[in-house]
Amino acid sequence: MTAVENANAGEQYEQYTPSFAEYWDDLVGWDDRLERDGPFYGRLLNAHGAKDVADVACGTGVNAVALALGGFKVTATDGSENMLEKARENAKARGATFNKSCVADWLTLDDTLGKEQYDAIVCLGNSFTHLFDHEQRRDALHAMFRTLRPGGMLIIDHRNYDTMLDEGYSSKHAYNYCGDGVDVGPAQLHRGLAQFHYTFKDGRTFQLNMYPLRQNYVTHLLEDAGFVNVERYGDMQRPFILNQVDFIQQVAFRP
Ligand code: SAM
């Protein structure tokens, strides 16, 4: 197939067509990703005493599976049934069990999962970038806030769009999307849009439209939703030098 596949109608998760879901794991590069992510998120969640954890952008399951194997009681949700189906397959193949898995849109997360249910929510792999509307971002974070128990923790990550916008795109390909032989890069990059192209080993090409989230803006949104004590990591380290990291992790708490 030569045409770029991009389902752009409706909600942003509709970009994750059945065929893109099939290719997603090649991009994720599970083994490298688990080696880096697993211990970092496991440590953070354990340090906070979290047991019930919802991965609300589980995609094909890389973090949800790692957390379930790490002993957390995991609820895996995603807006895309295609991605969730792959997550269930991957969990089964790796011997992981989800406490619950269901389709859930962030905007109505507390209606779907119930209020004050979780010790922690994770929204990883640069997922939050899929909302294009300020009000929707605010409403989504409010819904996540309500889904957490008081004292609960939200971990959300995003690409380092600040440096991308200010200095241009470069990537170490060492975090989140580590898959071998997948060519990833922005086709368009400006304040209102980061459009990434993904070319896989067999020549198949997909694209995703994303909103370039600046780190201060995300922190502001978190605080606006009521979260406190927001801490940032750069490529899972603190302190960090902004233009030397690919991804920012923001950790926030419901008081
Ligand atoms: N966390 C996974 C990973 O790291 O591989 C998946 C990341 S993928 C970039 C983003 C995921 O967010 C997709 O699976 C997509 O379906 C989901 N998503 C996008 N918008 C959503 C929304 N409004 N509600 C729930 N999930 C959404």
- For helices 62-69 and 30-47, give the axis angle rounded to 10 degrees: 60
- Give me the amino acid identity at 121: I
Q: How far is CA 214 from CA 100, 133, 164, in A?
A: 32, 14, 10
How high is the pLDDT of residue 176? 62
- Residue 3: its pLDDT value, please? 40
Cα(128) to centroid of ligand 1, in Å? 7
Question: Coil, helix or strand for 224?
Answer: helix
pLDDT at 175: 65
Q: What is the mean pLDDT of the chain?
A: 91
More confident residue, 137 or 26: 137
What is the average per-residue pLDDT within 218-233? 98
> What's the average model confidence in pLDDT over 174-184?
73
Locate the ligand 1 atom nearest the alpha carbon of residue 83 and give its number: 14
Candidates 6, 13, 28: which one to mutate for ligand 1, based on the most atoms within 8 Å of Cβ?
A: 13
Span 218-230, mean pLDDT? 98
Residue 92 CA to ligand 1 center (angstroms) comes to 20
Q: What is the pLDDT of residues 29-53, one digit of tens each?
A: 888 888 888 889 999 999 999 999 9
Q: What local confidence, expressed as pLDDT, does residue 178 receive?
A: 62
Question: What pLDDT score does 7 carry?
Answer: 41
10: pLDDT confidence band, cut at 50, 70 and 90? Answer: low
- Tell me the ipTM for this assembly: 0.99
Residue 71 has pLDDT above 60, yes or no: yes
Residue 198 has pLDDT above 90, yes or no: no
Residue 78 Cβ inside 6 Å of ligand 1? The answer reads yes
Rounded mean pLDDT, 85-93: 97
Strand order in the sheet with 73-78: 100-103, 73-78, 52-55, 118-123, 148-159, 247-253, 228-234
How confident is the model at residue 76, as a pLDDT?
A: 98
Give yes or no for residue 157 having a pLDDT over 50.
yes
Point out which residues pair with 232 in neighbouring strands. 250
